[in-house]
Amino acid sequence: MTLGRIEALSYAKARKTAEEYYHRTRLGEDPAGARDDQRAAPTIAALVERYMREEVTQSLKPTTVRFYGHLFRLHILPQACCRS
């Protein structure tokens, strides 16, 4: 498991982080697996697209569908991409 770039992470911080991961694995956790699960989670954009496709377009009028799309593009998606 990579902790970070050598120039971005001090030796002391890297050592402390490695020790924490070591202890977590000794207790039966899987930090790398948890990271992989988090990376595999759907994005907000994917959830919005699925919601629009499966729920909104199936049950609402076309003008309402366009309005929902506009709201998602204007308010939800820009906020989701800027959070870390």
Whether 23 and 48 share a structural domain: no
Q: How does pLDDT run across 28-40, given as a tens digit for each residue? A: 989 888 888 888 8
pLDDT of residue 16: 93
Q: For residue 60, what are the domain limits?
A: 44-82
Cβ contacts of 78 within 8 Å, gap of 6 or more: none
Separation CA 16–CA 4 (nearest Å): 13
For residue 4, tell me if it sits in a domain. Answer: no
Residue at 1 is within a domain = no
Query: Residue 2: inside a domain, yes or no?
Result: no
pLDDT tens-digit readout, 45-77: 999 999 999 999 999 999 999 999 999 999 988
Position of tokens 């998602």?
A: 72
User: 6 pLDDT band (50/70/90 cuts)?
Assistant: confident
**Closest of 24, 4, 79, 21 to residue 48, by C-alpha:** 79
As a whole number of angstroms, the distance between CA 72 and CA 78 comes to 9
